[in-house]
């Protein structure tokens, strides 16, 4: 019944005719709020869209659309159901297809490559990431801001750990889709935060699930954000091919990165034109891990033996999580942990937006977007918080770097509480 | 998602206010809306009503209540506590108002130089309510800001009838510092500049320097700060050495953004949750009760189960209703019956006349319960029987109905706890 029906989600620019030019998206845009370079989602979106298309040529009034960070807040603000951010992402991809992309954008989007290079060389690579001279060189040569939030590489990937312990990677001989889940670790839990992957597996097992970790690549979101749709489609196709048999057999696919899971749920279809039956089956089977745990709880099936964690915890719901339309499940789960005093940041965007906040010409914008959030996290730290929580990795790294307060995934908090409960018994 | 006491659908003045009051009364509340609503487009004052020969909002509401089927007929006792509660709630969030239900309705200037009746306005707009005496009105616009043209507004005000208005009206355009290089100047970006104390002082000094000799009251576009707006307005009057008032202009409406933020923050502080951006796509019914609503999501849907549901999705203009080609009108979320004039009488002959279709809405009992569903309350412009543009009663009905719904549902929640 809404404008956001199936046809529109398959091709978001269709929705732009529903725009009533009310400016609400412009009031909600965190980027337009802090920079004059971006005229706001209305102008580059529904208004500019009519000047785009076959035969209009490569000089469409489009270049400012590239200042969009892709946070998706405009789409959610729109009362008319216009898929603004999705339309703008496609416009950016058209520009990139016509005019090409920088080496920088291709490199920072290719997280699989970065992990393949960085993890074996972790001591050296991490020295470089911490070294001010190396970062200065990186800024001059690659246009990656010297203070852009880059997480250190893990010494060993999650998948290496999984293989070594003989973890399942294929469909089980005896199907049990009710008590088995497929884990989509994403690049963060694989190459940068493998402890998060291990915590996720531990929590899922504690709640009676067998975990399978099939072959997977980067979800492709960094490529989507940089307009490199062909690269993103290759990643997406690989993942869909790997995941579709599980989805068809009724297995749920659960991820610890709300960005990756949102890409699989929505962006494969809305941006990459992957709207075939396989993509739909996989999207329907995909869950954010907190969403899944809360669903268990709604059914009375979650292990609620949480030990007390007596601490204040500032929590930031990332833009990508909010685009899931699943509420803020981490906050509901935190409420189950005795003593844990989680407080929602009530701030819209941290500014990082994946790779946006790394780029030398956008770093300041990203900092300005997130500044009120960083101030809130710092204030919470002054009031006794020792860490913050956030569901998406680049947001975590941005908050941690810019506030100085360690920032973890909600799963890390829950796993700690579970472990403390196990020790107590 | 955990079950809540009340799910509110819609994020306009009615939905936000009802969610805030429910949360303040201790209910667990989830507010779901398909997008932002009308706060961002409106002037930020409270329109309680106008009626022939009514000189105050209270009198106007009483006259409107005498119209058969008007929402005020059932909300007579709710208006006073609703308006008082709203003004206190906003004040606690740093957004002060002037005026009461018994303040005189007086004409105040608009951005295009017409007049509209007002009695209750945010403090930053309130100087326009005071008797003009010997004061002249100086409208000040800013060069490169395209949504407020002081000379145009002044000319229209001069040409129109303004009984009790200022003796002199003039318009002046001021160049504010540092705007030359900016390409995307709107009310919101100006308001953010006015949030900064240093720029604000420099800008206000530039305005002060442009004020001609004489006693003036200064009308400015409503851009004096988004977060630090109370201080910005106080600074304006201090530095300009005159009473100053804001005039809302084209969207984005800065006074509306302030109002939205005051109510959003109130709900959050009281423990309520808000999710904006996802429409209701299905409803689980259990006989004459609603068990849960489902909102759209990236995959599947979000199930929101609640004891009661408040429908605040607006009327025809607010897209709460959908008209079919056969001339039937249905409410979009629950499929409630909509009372409307016959199709051939929907529209008046001229666009700016009162439109009969505006009266379309949902009929309820005195507790705002529709005939079909016993645990639903209907509030705001979804209610039948008013022409809120013509009667200027939209804000008053929104607040009064939100208050009635919150009070009746909080009583239900309390009774259950006691039982």
When CB atoms are compared, the residue of A28, A39, A283 closest to B184 is A39
Q: Is the ipTM of this complex over 0.85?
A: yes
* Structure-derived torsion over alpha carbons of residues A94, A99, A102, A106, reported in degrees to the nearest 10: 40
Per-residue pLDDT of A371-382, as tens digits, reads: 999 999 999 999
What is the distance between the alpha carbons of residues B131 and B136, in angstroms, rounded to a whole number? 11
Chain centre distance of CA A85: 15
CB contact under 8 Å between A4 and B181, yes or no, is no
What is the distance between the alpha carbons of residues A48 and A71, in angstroms, rounded to a whole number? 19
Phi and psi of B104, rounded to 5°?
-65, 140
**Chain B residues in contact with A28 (beta carbon < 8 A):** 36
- The residue-averaged pLDDT of B363-382 equals 97
Q: What angle do CA A147, A149, A155 make, to 5 degrees?
A: 120
What percentage of chain B has pLDDT greater than the value 70? 98
How many Cα atoms within 13 Å fall on the side-chain side of residue A400? 19
For the packed helices A111-118 and A122-130, what is the interaxial angle rounded to 10 degrees?
A: 110
Nearest-CA residue of chain A relative to B297?
Answer: A325
Nearest-CA residue of chain B relative to A323?
Answer: B298
When CB atoms are compared, the residue of A2, A294, A327 closest to B273 is A327
**Residue among B359, B275, B222 at smallest CA distance from B29:** B275
Instruction: Calculate the alpha carbon distances from A168 to A188, B97, B208, B308 in Å.
Output: 20, 64, 74, 46
Q: Shortest Cα distance from A206 to chain B (angstroms)?
A: 21
What is the distance between the alpha carbons of residues A354 and A309, in angstroms, rounded to a whole number? 30
Q: Shortest Cα distance from A327 to chain B (angstroms)?
A: 6
Q: Shortest Cα distance from B162 to chain A (angstroms)?
A: 30
What is the distance between the alpha carbons of residues A104 and A122, in angstroms, rounded to a whole number? 21
When CB atoms are compared, the residue of A22, A32, A298 closest to B41 is A22
**Residue among A319, A260, A270, A284 at smallest CA distance from A68:** A319
Residue A1 is predicted with a pLDDT of: 35
CB contact under 8 Å between B296 and A26, yes or no, is no
**Residue among A189, A110, A86 at smallest CA distance from A355:** A110
Per-residue pLDDT of B170-213, as tens digits, reads: 999 999 999 988 888 889 999 999 999 999 999 999 999 999 99
Residue A7 is predicted with a pLDDT of: 77
**Chain B residues in contact with A47 (beta carbon < 8 A):** none
What is the distance between the alpha carbons of residues B78 and B404, in angstroms, rounded to a whole number? 6
Band the pLDDT of A34: cuts 50, 70, 90. Answer: very high
Mutation target among B180, B293, B298, B323 for the A interface, most CBs of A within 10 A:
B298
Q: Shortest Cα distance from B295 to chain A (angstroms)?
A: 8
When CB atoms are compared, the residue of B181, B189, B277 closest to A75 is B277
Q: Is residue A353 within 8 Å of residue A319, measured between CB atoms?
A: yes
Sign of CA dihedral A47, A51, A52, A54: positive
CB contact under 8 Å between B34 and A39, yes or no, is no
Residue B332 is predicted with a pLDDT of: 95
Instruction: Calculate the alpha carbon distances from B348 to A40, B341, B351, B359, B393 in Å.
Output: 37, 12, 7, 12, 20
Q: Which of residues 110-169 of A touch B (CB under 8 A)?
A: none
Residue B414 is predicted with a pLDDT of: 59
CB contact under 8 Å between B299 and A286, yes or no, is yes
- The residue-averaged pLDDT of A27-43 equals 93
Band the pLDDT of B292: cuts 50, 70, 90. Answer: very high
Residue B413 is predicted with a pLDDT of: 61
Band the pLDDT of B87: cuts 50, 70, 90. Answer: very high
Q: Is residue B31 within 8 Å of residue B272, measured between CB atoms?
A: yes
Residue B327 is predicted with a pLDDT of: 85
Nearest-CA residue of chain B relative to A321?
Answer: B298
- Of residues A14 and B22, more confidence is placed in B22
What is the distance between the alpha carbons of residues A363 and A371, in angstroms, rounded to a whole number? 12
Mutation target among A281, A326, A391 for the B interface, most CBs of B within 10 A:
A326
Q: Beginning with the edge strand found earlier in the chain, give each strand of the sheet holding B244-247 in spatial order.
A: B169-174, B136-142, B216-221, B244-247
Q: CB atoms < 10 A from the CB of A339, how many?
A: 12
To which residue do tokens 């569901």 refer?
A391
Nearest-CA residue of chain B relative to A262?
Answer: B298
**Chain B residues in contact with A283 (beta carbon < 8 A):** 298-299
Q: Shortest Cα distance from A4 to chain B (angstroms)?
A: 9
DSSP code, position A63: G
Residue A3 is predicted with a pLDDT of: 44
Q: What angle do CA B116, B122, B127 make, to 5 degrees?
A: 70
**Six-digit token string for A218:** 């980067």
Q: What angle do CA A237, A238, A244 make, to 5 degrees?
A: 80
Phi and psi of B337, rounded to 5°?
-70, 140
**Residue among B246, B261, B309, B387 at smallest CA distance from B31:** B309
Nearest-CA residue of chain A relative to B31?
Answer: A327
Please list the residues that pair with A313 across neighbouring strands: A342
Band the pLDDT of B418: cuts 50, 70, 90. Answer: low
For residue B414, give the H/E element and its range. helix B394-418
Per-residue pLDDT of A73-89, as tens digits, reads: 999 999 999 999 999 99
Q: CB atoms < 10 A from the CB of A275, how many?
A: 17
What percentage of chain A has pLDDT greater than the value 70? 97
Residue B8 is predicted with a pLDDT of: 98
Residue A62 is predicted with a pLDDT of: 73
Band the pLDDT of A255: cuts 50, 70, 90. Answer: very high
Q: What angle do CA A295, B274, B266 make, to 5 degrees?
A: 135
pLDDT > 60? residue B284: yes
How many Cα atoms within 13 Å fall on the side-chain side of residue A418? 19
Mutation target among A327, A331, A391 for the B interface, most CBs of B within 10 A:
A327
Q: Indicate the length of chain A as a whole number.
A: 425
To which residue do tokens 């605040």 refer?
B312
Band the pLDDT of B392: cuts 50, 70, 90. Answer: very high
Q: Is residue A298 within 8 Å of residue A336, measured between CB atoms?
A: no
Per-residue pLDDT of A357-416, as tens digits, reads: 999 999 999 999 999 999 999 999 999 999 999 999 999 999 999 999 999 999 999 999
CB contact under 8 Å between B295 and A22, yes or no, is no
Chain B interface includes A345 (CB < 8 A): no
To which residue do tokens 């977060």 refer?
B227
pTM of this prediction exceeds 0.90: yes
For every residue of A117-170, DSSP letters joined together read HHTTTHHHHHHHHH-HHHHHHHHHHH-B-TTS--PPPPSS-HHHHHHHTT-B-S
Per-residue pLDDT of B243-263, as tens digits, reads: 999 999 988 899 999 999 999
What is the distance between the alpha carbons of residues B177 and B4, in angstroms, rounded to a whole number? 50
Which residues of B lie closer than 8 Å to A, measured between beta carbons?
Answer: 1-2, 30, 34-37, 40-41, 181-184, 186, 188-189, 192, 250-252, 257, 265, 268, 273, 275-279, 281, 295-300, 302, 319, 322, 332
What is the distance between the alpha carbons of residues B354 and B338, in angstroms, rounded to a whole number? 19
When CB atoms are compared, the residue of A26, A28, A265 closest to B299 is A265
| Mean residue pLDDT across chain A | 93
- The residue-averaged pLDDT of A264-290 equals 95
């Amino acid at each position: 019944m809404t404008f956001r029906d199936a046809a529109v989600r398959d091709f978001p620019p269709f929705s732009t005719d529903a725009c009533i030019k009310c400016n609400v998206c412009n009031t909600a845009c965190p980027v337009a709020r802090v920079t004059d370079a971006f005229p706001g989602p209305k102008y580059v979106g529904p208004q500019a869209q009519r000047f785009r298309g076959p035969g209009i040529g490569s000089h469409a009034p489009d270049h400012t659309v590239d200042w969009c960070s892709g946070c998706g807040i405009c789409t959610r603000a729109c009362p008319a159901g216009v898929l603004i951010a999705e339309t703008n992402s496609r416009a950016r991809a058209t520009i990139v297809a016509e005019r090409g992309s920088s080496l920088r954008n291709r490199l920072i989007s290719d997280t699989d490559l970065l992990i393949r290079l960085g993890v074996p060389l972790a001591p050296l690579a991490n020295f470089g990431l911490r070294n001010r001279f190396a970062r200065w060189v990186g800024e001059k040569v690659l246009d990656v801001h010297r203070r852009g939030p880059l997480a250190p590489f893990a010494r060993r990937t999650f998948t290496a750990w999984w293989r070594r312990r003989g973890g399942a990677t294929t469909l089980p001989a005896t199907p049990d889709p009710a008590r088995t889940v497929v884990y989509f670790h994403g690049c963060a839990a694989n190459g940068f935060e493998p402890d998060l992957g291990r915590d996720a597996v531990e929590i899922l097992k504690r709640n009676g699930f067998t975990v399978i970790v099939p072959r997977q690549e980067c979800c492709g979101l960094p490529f989507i954000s940089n307009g490199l749709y062909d690269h993103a489609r290759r990643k997406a196709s690989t993942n869909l091919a790997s995941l579709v048999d599980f989805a068809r057999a009724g297995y749920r696919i659960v991820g610890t990165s709300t960005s990756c899971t949102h890409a699989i749920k929505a962006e494969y279809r809305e941006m990459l034109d992957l709207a075939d039956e396989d993509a739909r089956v996989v999207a329907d089977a995909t869950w954010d891990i907190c969403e899944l745990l809360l669903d268990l709880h709604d059914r009375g099936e979650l292990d609620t033996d949480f030990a007390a964690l007596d601490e204040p915890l500032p929590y930031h719901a990332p833009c990508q999580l909010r685009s899931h339309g699943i509420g803020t499940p981490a906050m509901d789960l935190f409420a189950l942990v005795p003593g844990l005093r989680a407080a929602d940041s009530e701030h819209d965007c941290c500014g990082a937006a994946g790779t946006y906040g790394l780029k030398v010409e956008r770093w300041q914008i990203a900092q300005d977007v997130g500044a009120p959030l960083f101030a809130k996290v710092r204030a919470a730290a002054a009031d006794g918080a020792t860490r913050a929580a956030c569901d998406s990795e680049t947001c975590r790294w941005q908050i941690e770097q810019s506030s100085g307060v360690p920032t973890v995934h909600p799963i890390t908090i829950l796993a700690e509480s579970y472990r403390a409960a196990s020790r107590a018994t | 998602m955990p079950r809540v006491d009340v799910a509110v659908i819609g994020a306009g003045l009615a939905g936000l206010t009802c969610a805030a009051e429910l949360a303040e009364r201790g209910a667990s509340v989830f507010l779901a809306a398909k997008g932002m609503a009308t706060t961002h487009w409106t002037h930020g004052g409270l329109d309680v009503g106008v009626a022939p020969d009514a000189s105050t909002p209270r009198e106007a509401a009483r006259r409107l209540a005498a119209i058969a089927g008007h929402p005020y007929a059932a909300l007579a006792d709710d208006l006073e506590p609703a308006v008082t509660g709203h003004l206190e709630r906003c004040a606690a969030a740093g957004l002060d108002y002037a005026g009461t239900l018994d303040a005189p309705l007086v004409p105040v200037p608009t951005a295009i130089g017409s007049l509209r009746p007002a009695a209750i306005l945010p403090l930053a707009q309130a100087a326009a309510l005071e008797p003009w005496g010997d004061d002249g009105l100086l409208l000040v616009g800013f060069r490169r800001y395209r949504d407020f043209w002081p000379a145009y507004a002044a000319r229209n005000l001069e040409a129109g009838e303004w009984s009790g208005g200022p003796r002199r009206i003039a318009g002046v355009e001021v160049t504010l510092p540092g705007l030359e290089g900016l390409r995307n100047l709107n009310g919101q970006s100006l308001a953010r500049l006015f949030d900064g104390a240093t720029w604000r002082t420099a800008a206000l000094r530039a305005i002060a320097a442009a004020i001609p000799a004489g006693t003036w009251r200064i009308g400015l576009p409503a851009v004096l700060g988004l977060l630090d707006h109370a201080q910005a307005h106080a600074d304006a009057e201090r530095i300009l050495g005159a009473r100053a008032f804001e005039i809302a202009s084209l969207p984005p409406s800065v006074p509306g953004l302030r109002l939205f933020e005051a109510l959003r923050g109130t709900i959050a502080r009281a423990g309520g949750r808000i999710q904006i951006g996802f429409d209701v796509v299905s409803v689980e019914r259990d006989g004459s009760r609603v068990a849960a609503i489902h909102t759209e999501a990236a995959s599947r849907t979000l199930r929101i189960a609640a004891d009661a549901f408040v429908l605040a999705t607006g009327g025809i203009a607010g897209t709460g209703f959908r008209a079919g080609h056969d001339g039937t009108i249905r409410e979009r979320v629950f499929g409630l019956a909509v009372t409307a004039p016959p199709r051939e009488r929907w529209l008046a002959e001229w666009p700016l006349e009162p439109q009969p279709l505006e009266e379309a809405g949902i009929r309820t009992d005195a507790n705002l319960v529709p005939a079909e569903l016993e645990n639903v309350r209907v509030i705001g412009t979804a209610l039948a029987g008013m022409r809120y543009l013509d009667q200027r009663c939209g804000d008053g009905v929104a607040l009064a109905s939100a208050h009635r719904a919150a009070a009746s549902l909080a009583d239900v929640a309390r009774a259950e706890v006691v039982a």
